[in-house]
Amino acid sequence: MIKVENLCFEYPGVRALDDVSFTVEKGSVVALVGPNGAGKTTLLHCLAALDQPLSGVIYLDGDDITQYPRMTHRKTGYLPDFFGLYEDLTVERCLRYHACAHGIEADKVEHAVQQAAERLDISDRMQVRAKELSRGLRQRLAIAQAIVHEPPLLLLDEPASGLDPEARHSLATLFLGLRDLGLTLIVSSHILTELEAYSTHMLVMRQGKIISQDVIHGHESSVASCQLRLKLASDFPELDSVLKNIDGISAVQIDDQADVWQASFSFSCDKTLQHNLLKQLIESHVPIASFAEEKRDMHAAYLDKMQEIHHV
């Protein structure tokens, strides 16, 4: 759905995005994580066609968004970090305005408004002014405004900031619902435990660069790579060479320090390919005791990435 190639963005004297390239598949929920100042908000701005990059290309459904920014605006919903509402308008009028502003036909506006309100569970507050809503409800209204035109892509910048745990939980439930509706979401956040509940991919940024793009467990697709862990029943000194000779295996790490021989490596998430790999290992007489995907939570994965970078 999104393909970013060699994207560079510069503020005077500061390179905010540095040769950023990645792809986002349709229907995925990408957690955009990284320390403050990593370039997450700038990247979201570029993806929303609100800022023009210095160089590079962003394709949305095959179209270059710098050439067709208005097409991007129609296809995208965006919730900025510091969002604003029309405080003196009622919830109903806020949604109605956004529906009309996004070009929804007059006879379909009512339905769009009701649907967005129901999805965000604010339909009982339609006649309440925006300024009278609580923080959590304001957030819901802002998201409802962003999705009222049912965009295939939704960009959210720190959507859970300032929300209490209960509101965060319901936000996570909402994003799962949107994901099930087929929307593609890119969510920038610091709260990794929340992201884990609904994200399928994690994009880690640091100093304007993408330092990794990983699949989060349980959301593997046929093209993504997974971390696999192999435990052996007995010593097997040839393990390293066996693994390295198999196509598709990378980043092999052998641990023979403890009593149990173990190996960790990257391989396709495709279950058939994993089955074939297991068969191949058994045929190579590897004394396999267990063969499983390594389940690491997002927080641990993120910290590992950051540590790797620091070591480099």
Minimum CB–partner distance for residue 51 and other proteins (Å): 8
Closest by CA position to 151, among listed 64, 77, 48? 77
Residues 6+ apart with CB under 8 A from 213: 22, 201, 202, 203, 204
Minimum CB–partner distance for residue 290 and other proteins (Å): 46
Give the whole-angstrom CA distance, residue 205 versus residue 302.
Answer: 10
Tokens of 93: 């009028």
Residue 89 binds other proteins, judged by CB under 8 A: yes
Q: Which is nearer to other proteins, 39 or 80 (CB)?
A: 80
Helices (H), the chain: 40-47, 69-75, 91-101, 106-119, 135-147, 165-180, 192-198, 239-244, 271-283, 298-311
Residue type, 277: L
Among 145, 188, 227, 274, binds other proteins (CB under 8 A): 145
Among 31, 47, 73, 159, binds other proteins (CB under 8 A): 73
How many residues of this chain bind other proteins (CB under 8 A)? 41
- Going residue by residue from 121 to 140, which x/- string records binding to other proteins, judged by CB under 8 A? --------------------
Tokens of 161: 């900031």
Instruction: Please give the residues from 44 up to 63 whose contact with other proteins meets the rule CB under 8 A.
Output: 48-52, 54-55
Residue 41 binds other proteins, judged by CB under 8 A: no
Closest by CA position to 59, among listed 97, 22, 27, 92? 22
Q: Which is nearer to other proteins, 131 or 279 (CB)?
A: 131
Minimum CB–partner distance for residue 78 and other proteins (Å): 5
Give the whole-angstrom CA distance, residue 55 versus residue 4.
Answer: 11
Q: Which is nearer to other proteins, 140 or 201 (CB)?
A: 140
What CA–CA distances, in Å, run from 163 to 39, 80, 135, 170, 197?
Answer: 23, 15, 7, 10, 16
- Going residue by residue from 91 to 110, which x/- string records binding to other proteins, judged by CB under 8 A? --x---xx-xxxx-------
Closest by CA position to 260, among listed 299, 288, 279, 224? 288
Q: Which is nearer to other proteins, 18 or 25 (CB)?
A: 18
Instruction: Please give the residues from 3 up to 22 whose contact with other proteins meets the rule CB under 8 A.
Output: 8, 10-13, 15, 18-19
Q: Which is nearer to other proteins, 100 or 167 (CB)?
A: 100
Binding site residues, other proteins, CB under 8 A = 8, 10-13, 15, 18-19, 48-52, 54-55, 69-70, 73-74, 76-78, 80, 82-89, 93, 97-98, 100-103, 145-146, 149
